[in-house]
Chain A
Amino acid sequence: MSSAIRLNGVSRRFARGVQALDGVDLEIGAGDFVALLGPSGCGKTTVLRLLAGLDAADAGTVVVGYGNKPPVLSYVFQDATLMPWASVFDNVWLPLRITGVSPAAARERIARVLQAVGLADFVQALPHELSGGMRMRVSIARALVTQPDVLLLDEPFAALDEITRQRLNGDLLDLWGRNRFTCVFVTHSVFEAVFLAQRVAVMSARPGRIVADLAIDAPARRTAAWRIEPRYLELCRAASAALESGFAERAP
């Protein structure tokens, strides 16, 4: 299987001399679920933005896609990033609307994707009428409505409570299982990374670099029960250790 995402020696330096990334190498196959784990400020978001095309690398190459078809990308931000003046329908419709799809034509797709995130009854609701978790679901629905090849998520559940977070983790896995998009999930939570991903790429502290790549040998379809498996805790410990070493390595 050819790689959907390839980063080679990617470096990025911001104004005021902040070196966010220094030589990042990462390869992700199509349909893979990879967690990008790292401490705050290590450049995880920068990597995601480079993948999304929202930013450009100073050195190295970033390749997203396979074949000659440009990949359909979606991005889920840390906060739901909904348009507060628009209903759930209009928010989810946005990516389609930009490409010229009429509301009538989009109605079915929107209904389907809202059903998938469990918000079928809230089509006309406004963002301020929804809870944090529900707003994040709308954000995910919006990301999925274009049937993306690649889904990029930047700590999407970090602002939510633990219970909601775990539920949404499960829901995300379900959606991934059904749609099999390539998923890059940025997080600073070891538990979340190990629960969700097939691979955990551990980043060092700034300037960021991949210091470890752990394969998570667990079935693709996981349930809450996975969280209490001994193998899960082992992997968490290993990921933590890799985090620590990455942190220590680059600590000034």
Chain B
Amino acid sequence: MKRLLPLLSLLVASLAQAQGASDAKAAPEKLERAVFATNWKAQAAHGGFYQALADGTYRRFGLDVEIRQGGPQVNNRPLLPAGRIDFLMTGNLLHSFDNVKQGVPVVAVAAIFQKDPQALLAHPGQGYENFAKLKDAPVALIAKDGQFTWWQWLTVRHGFRDEALRPYNYNLGPFLASKAAIQQGYSVAEPIYVKKQGGFDPVVHLLADHGFSTYSTLIETRRDTAEKRPQYVQRFVDASIIGWYRYLYGERKAANALMLKENPEMTEEELEASLALLRSQGIVESGEALERGIGAMNSARIADFHDNMVRAGLYKAGEVDLAKVADTRFVNRRVGLDLRKQLGGR
């Protein structure tokens, strides 16, 4: 995959160029390069970013963006402080807390998801319709990332047991084979795959509905980038937000095509089904995002979530300097709300 990247980025760049050329507005002469690494292979949950790339939004904002996929064995996170990438997508605030705790100078600048789609899936008819029953499951398939972050919260706050923990390698097999097993997933993705491979609709419990109140799909950048090149950061954030509105309400064929190219295992119907779930579950647009635009963040909510995690024993009080976690000046500016109305959003 990594070897294909230069080729793919060339492809992506030429695609973006094709889109941008058809745009009415003139592209600025010199584009600034931005490398954005995601936390998974291309999927609908990344749709807005690929949209901004595919329809030339990034270019119009003067940015030459390369999106680098994550994946099951890929950990893009160290690349940001190391200077290899400019922006990073992270799945929840725990990553930000860890960074600040370890003195890693990165900061969150936007929160695309107001709700974390992290969920636990179970077989129907096993009593797991009741969330409280999940902790009694004999087998809980949790991947490495979750195991070292929110699983701990589950054990403390909701009584889950380490004995049930089994490594999850992003293979649905063990879950499908065992009716008593539960596994992690994104509420907007895995249920679709389970339906496809297993032929049933799984029971889905959003962690967000049970106290895991973090933002998700955050955009992180280096502290010195945010301080020394605020315009650059602003443009990336704004363009991404616009991309998200366009993906949700506009013409997204090119974005889907791009994601299918990057992730050949994805299908168009899965993308559309996932997008429908994103909408119906209010992942991107709910709460403050409805008034302040996609990406909205506020410190009070971050602090509240942090206190939850302290109570769950993930951090000690005072370990994390909350002021350093997020820089909210790049969002909450109602960017894209007109576009939304224009595109007929709700």
A–B: direct contact at CB < 8 Å: no
Residue positions of B touching A, CB distance < 8 A: none
